[in-house]
Amino acid sequence: MSNGDLSRDMLAALAWQIELGADEAIAEEPQDRFAEHAARQAGREASREAQAQNRERPAAAPVRQLPPARAAAPVPPEPEAERSDGPGSREIAAAAASLDALCEAIEGFEGSDLRKGARNCVFCDGNPAARVMVIGEAPGAEEDRLGKPFVGRSGQLLDRMLAAIGLSRAEPDPEKAVYITNILPWRPAGNRTPSDAEAALFLPFVERHIELADPDIVLCMGGVSTKHLLATTLGIKRMRGRWRRHAATAKPVMPSFHPAYLLRQPGDKRLAWRDLLAVRAVLDGAAPDFAE
């Protein structure tokens, strides 16, 4: 990374913190950075040792293999909007063996009328090798025009938020990169909120997307993606800030506020900042502290 890139990233991180009102270099509670560093170091050594032992035993399961819990995942309700003729979204998604194949499958999926009112399929942006995958709600007008998620005003805020924890969608290094998608790949006409049936119809594609991209962490932006990905009836204010496990892939999920909500309610940026710090801590080696 050049000095220019570094200064730009640092300025972006600073701008976001100023936006949050962070004008004092103190946290809410004292932190023993030396102890944190030692704990992280010990964690990394333990995981290296475990990996070395796994290598010595070739029959053992690979570290990032999807857990057998997948078979026990709750069966999602049959989506009302799905047409009964031909294969459904779950079968089509399961048959996609790569991200390119999944994108093609979504573009060709005829089980929803949403595509008729949209200009472009919005599949993803960023680096598919990233450790963090961001999942938003649905494309808006700008996203529909450009065929990329989060490129409008809320996308710009999202970029500043991610930059504040050292992540960028333009970054080639998976450690510093993000990969971004939405629950819906097509813009609902008039920017309305996706219906439950629409979200349920496209959920198998999103879950296959997570499996294929195989991130370490999913960052769920807003109530709609949280509701459907985590199959919860609790609102985002109750869900945010605590690690949850995604049933189908066992990935740790951090639900947080949608940037569009933060544009309307800037006072809640400080809560979003806490969620981002929790993501940063897990990326740095802390174990996710799952909600019961």
Q: Which residues bind ligand URA (CB under 6 A)?
A: 136-140, 143, 149-150, 152, 154-155, 182, 260
Spatial contact of 178 and 169, defined as CB atoms under 8 Å apart: yes
Cα–Cα distance for residue pair 95/283, rounded to 1 Å: 31
Q: How far is the CB of 71 from ligand URA (least distance, A)?
A: 31
- The nearer residue to ligand URA, 112 or 182, going by C-beta atoms, is 182
Closer CB to ligand URA, residue 8 or residue 160? 160
Beta-carbon count within 10 A of 286 CB: 14
Quote the least distance from Cβ 287 to ligand URA, whole Å.
Answer: 29
Residue whose CB is less far from ligand URA, 98 or 191: 191
Residue found under tokens 């080696």? 285
Name the residue nearer to ligand URA (CB basis): 92 or 124. Answer: 124
CB of 222 to ligand URA, least distance (A): 6
HEC assignment per residue over the chain: CCHHHHHHHHHHHHHHHHHCCCCCCCCCCCCCHHHHHHHHHHHHHHHHHHHHHHHHCCCCCCCCCCCHHHHHCCCCCCCCCCCCCCCCHHHHHHHCCCHHHHHHHHHHCCCCCHHHHCCCCCCCEECCCCCEEEEECCCCHHHHHHCCCCCCHHHHHHHHHHHHCCCECCCCCCCCEEEEEECCCCCCHHHCCCCHHHHHHHHHHHHHHHHHHCCCEEEEECHHHHHHHCCCCCCHHHHCCCEEECCCCCCEEEEECCHHHHHHCHHHHHHHHHHHHHHHHHHCCCCCCECC
| Residue closer to ligand URA (CB basis): 125 or 171 | 125
Q: In the numeric block, which tokens belong to residue 115?
A: 């595509």
Q: How far is the CB of 128 from ligand URA (least distance, A)?
A: 17
Question: Which residue has the closest beta carbon to ligand URA?
Answer: 136
Which residue lies nearer to ligand URA by CB, 38 or 263? Answer: 263
Q: Which is nearer to ligand URA, 206 or 260 (CB)?
A: 260
CB of 230 to ligand URA, least distance (A): 16
Q: How far is the CB of 263 from ligand URA (least distance, A)?
A: 11
Shortest separation between residue 239's beta carbon and ligand URA, angstroms: 16
